[in-house]
Amino acid sequence: MREKKLRQIKIPVIYSFARSGGTLINRCLGCISGNIILSEVNPHASLVPIEVQARDWFKLVSSGNFSDFSKKTYADKIRLLAEAARQQGSHLIIRDWTTINFLDRASDDIYAPSMLLEQELYLEQYGFNIYPVMLARRSADVYESLTRTFKHLRNLSIKEFGNCYLAYVQKVSTYPLFHYESFCLEPEKELKRMCDVLGVNYSDTFVTEFSKFTYCTGDNTLPKPSRGGQIGKITVMESNQGAESYIAATLDENCQQADRLLGYENMEIEKQVDAFWRIVEVRDQALTKANDLRHQTQVELERIQSRLQQTQAELERSQSHLQQSDADRAARLTLIEQLSEQLQQSEADRAARLTAIEQLSEQLQQAQVELALSQSQLQQIQTELAQSQSQLQQTQTELVLSQSQLQQTQTELTQSQTIIQAMEDRNLWKLRTIVVRLKKVIGLPTDA
Condensed to tens digits (0 to 9), the pLDDT of residues 344-387 reads 887 888 888 888 888 888 888 888 888 888 778 768 877 776 77
> What is residue 349's predicted lDDT score, i.e. its pLDDT?
82
Contact (CB, 8 A) for 136 and 194: no
Segment of 233-242, 248-257, 295-304 carrying the highest mean pLDDT:
248-257
Same domain, residue pair 217 and 321: no
What average pLDDT does the chain have? 85
Q: Does residue 46 form part of some domain?
A: yes
> What is residue 411's predicted lDDT score, i.e. its pLDDT?
79
Same domain, residue pair 286 and 181: no
Q: In terms of residue numbers, what domain contains 258?
A: 2-262
Same domain, residue pair 177 and 318: no
Same domain, residue pair 256 and 311: no
> What is residue 225's predicted lDDT score, i.e. its pLDDT?
54
For 67-106, write each residue's pLDDT tens digit: 999 999 999 999 999 999 999 999 999 999 999 999 998 8
For 103-148, write each residue's pLDDT tens digit: 998 877 656 899 999 999 999 999 999 999 999 999 999 999 999 9
The overall pTM is greater than 0.85:
no
pLDDT score of 280 more than 60? no
User: What are the backbone dihedrals phi and psi of residue 95, each rounded to the nearest 5 degrees, phi first?
Assistant: -100, 105
Q: Does residue 178 form part of some domain?
A: yes
Same domain, residue pair 256 and 305: no
Q: Does residue 78 form part of some domain?
A: yes
pLDDT score of 424 more than 70? no
Same domain, residue pair 258 and 326: no
Q: What is the mean pLDDT of residues 398-409?
A: 81
Q: Which residue has the higher pLDDT, 303 or 206?
A: 206
Among 230, 262, 294, the domain-final residue is 262
pLDDT score of 429 more than 60? yes
Contact (CB, 8 A) for 262 and 142: no
Same domain, residue pair 243 and 345: no
Same domain, residue pair 23 and 163: yes
Cα–Cα distances in Å, from 335 out to 145, 323, 345, 347, 363?
100, 18, 15, 18, 41
Same domain, residue pair 246 and 301: no
Tally of domains within the chain? 2
Q: Does residue 272 form part of some domain?
A: no
- Cα(145)–Cα(18) distance, rounded to whole angstroms? 9
Q: Does residue 276 form part of some domain?
A: no
Q: Does residue 17 form part of some domain?
A: yes
User: What are the backbone dihedrals phi and psi of residue 13, each rounded to the nearest 5 degrees, phi first?
Assistant: -130, 135
Same domain, residue pair 121 and 182: yes
Looking up residue 83, the CATH number of its domain turns out to be 3.40.50
> What is residue 271's predicted lDDT score, i.e. its pLDDT?
45
Same domain, residue pair 242 and 138: yes
> What is residue 276's predicted lDDT score, i.e. its pLDDT?
44
> What is residue 420's predicted lDDT score, i.e. its pLDDT?
63
Same domain, residue pair 234 and 293: no
Q: Does residue 367 form part of some domain?
A: yes
Q: What is the mean pLDDT of residues 190-213?
A: 97
> What is residue 34's predicted lDDT score, i.e. its pLDDT?
98
Length of the chain measured in residues: 448
Among 205, 229, 262, the domain-final residue is 262
